[in-house]
Amino acid sequence: MTVFVDRTSLGRGEPLGTAALAQLFTEARTHNHFRDLPVPDRLLRQALDLAKMGPTAVNQQSLRALFLRSDQAKERLRPALMAGNVEKTMAAPVVAIMGHDVEFYKHLPFLLPHADAGSWFAGDPDFAARSAAQNGTLQVAYFILALRAVGLDAGPMSGFDSPKVEQEFFPDGKIKANVIINIGYGEDAKLYPRSPRLSFEEMATIL
Amino acid sequence: MTVFVDRTSLGRGEPLGTAALAQLFTEARTHNHFRDLPVPDRLLRQALDLAKMGPTAVNQQSLRALFLRSDQAKERLRPALMAGNVEKTMAAPVVAIMGHDVEFYKHLPFLLPHADAGSWFAGDPDFAARSAAQNGTLQVAYFILALRAVGLDAGPMSGFDSPKVEQEFFPDGKIKANVIINIGYGEDAKLYPRSPRLSFEEMATIL
């Protein structure tokens, strides 16, 4: 696919090169099958440390992650997966349960010291839950692109029973399960053809 | 900040370089003030064309975008903004209203031709709305990072009256307003110091 590169803007405003855009967006794919290669903890940490730099409302960073690496941990997830997602998930080198903390606001005195933003949420659990979901979801996407940025491949999915996952892994009720991501080095040979995309005009208007 | 680079993995699994990681994550910042430089339509298109390649559930691509460039269009947004967001938004070169289409499933016969996924949503408007919000929000984050990838800066915010925005810009009720993003080339001199981040251990556990 053609990638347009702009070299005319000033200062910092340079685009990434075509290879970086390909790794993040244009050639990256959702993977269901992974090569038999280890995924070091160091790369999971690096990807999360990159993702947490992305913007969230009032710097709330509501994302919480459980990385399932052992067979024992993955077996705890099995009963919550949709049938079509079981085999590929059990075989993935690492499985990340991405959730969000509906009591994220308890960290705001540290995360946003110059404002009393915690009080906006502490008395309004519905608002807190909505904001945690919205911003935790932004952070899931930052994390998917951060995995790609450190050279890994991701297989995100929403086909699972969230209450079952929460009961098993987050029994105190404060963390909601949002997206599960299989992580490893993808098997390109097992990819399906890329599905189509909407046109700019179907998605957007300039006023 | 230290960025660990892994050169030991095979084939495609190479990390991006430190400069690219800085542009996307570690040095990128939320901007409230922009330089007096034009933002070409071409870069808005390129950023959206990159963002739409990111993964969504059943390839739904529920994100919809309105780019407000004219003063007239921005004035229509003014009454819906929280007081603290008015001035910076009216001054931004481009203001993007990011929404999601709760009837995204009408496109699924084209977007996911090998499955009848549309029927999962067509009879369940609550499920469709939740899925549109979750996946539209993932796409907002892909778009924020895509703006940075093409050399632009972003100032995302959720401080606005969504029903007012919807009434003014999406009166048919099918598109929900999610996040507003001011777009341009940021004024580094007007940045606040970077706010703190949670540690890996506060966000994540490896099992």
pLDDT, tens digit, 9 for 90 and up, residues A22-77: 999 999 999 999 999 999 999 999 999 999 999 999 999 999 999 999 999 999 99
Q: What is the pLDDT of residues B53-105, one digit of tens each?
A: 999 999 999 999 999 999 999 999 999 999 999 999 999 999 999 999 999 99
Is the Cβ pair A11, B205 closer than 8 Å? Answer: no
Q: Compute and round to an integer the Cα radius of gyration of chain B.
A: 19
Q: Is B162 on the interface with A (CB under 8 A)?
A: no
- pLDDT for B9 equals 41
On whether residue A200 sits in a domain, the answer given is no
Residues A75, A80: Cα–Cα separation, whole Å: 10
On whether residue B8 sits in a domain, the answer given is no
Mutate: best of A12, A60, A74, partner B, most B CBs <10 A: A12
Instruction: Report the chain B residue with the minimal C-alpha distance to residue A139.
Output: B141
Ordered alpha helix ranges (H), B9-54 = 18-21, 41-51
On whether residue B126 sits in a domain, the answer given is yes
Kindly indicate the confidence band of residue A12, based on its pLDDT and cuts at 50, 70 and 90: low
Kindly indicate the confidence band of residue A1, based on its pLDDT and cuts at 50, 70 and 90: very low
Residues of B in contact with A9 (CB under 8 A): 37, 151, 185
Is the Cβ pair B137, A139 closer than 8 Å? Answer: no
Residue A46 domain boundaries: 23-187
Pick from A11, A160, A77: nearest CA to B35: A11
- pLDDT for B3 equals 41
On whether residue A12 sits in a domain, the answer given is no
Q: pTM of this prediction?
A: 0.94
Q: Is A83 on the interface with B (CB under 8 A)?
A: no
On whether residue A163 sits in a domain, the answer given is yes
Closest CA–CA distance from residue A166 to any residue of chain B (Å) = 15
Residues of B in contact with A37 (CB under 8 A): 9-10, 13
- pLDDT for B13 equals 82
Is the Cβ pair B107, A37 closer than 8 Å? Answer: no
Tell me the percentage of chain A whose pLDDT exceeds 70. 94
- B110: domain CATH number? 3.40.109.10
* CA A10 to centroid of chain Cα atoms: 32
On whether residue B203 sits in a domain, the answer given is no
On whether residue B197 sits in a domain, the answer given is no
Could you give the number of structural domains in chain B?
A: 1
- pLDDT for A13 equals 82
Instruction: Report the chain A residue with the minimal C-alpha distance to residue B21.
Output: A149
Is the Cβ pair A10, B185 closer than 8 Å? Answer: yes
- Rounded mean pLDDT, A80-90: 98
Question: Hey, which residues 115-134 in chain B have their CB within 8 Å of chain A?
Answer: 131, 133-134
Residue A90 has pLDDT above 50, yes or no: yes
Mean pLDDT of all residues belonging to chain A = 94
CB neighbour class for A135 (10 Å; exposed up to 12, middle 13-18, buried from 19)? buried
Closest CA–CA distance from residue B118 to any residue of chain A (Å) = 15
Name residues of chain B where pLDDT drops below 70: 1-12
On whether residue B36 sits in a domain, the answer given is yes
- pLDDT for A31 equals 97
- pLDDT for B12 equals 64
- pLDDT for A198 equals 98
- pLDDT for B142 equals 98
Pick from A39, A148, A92, A78: nearest CA to B146: A148
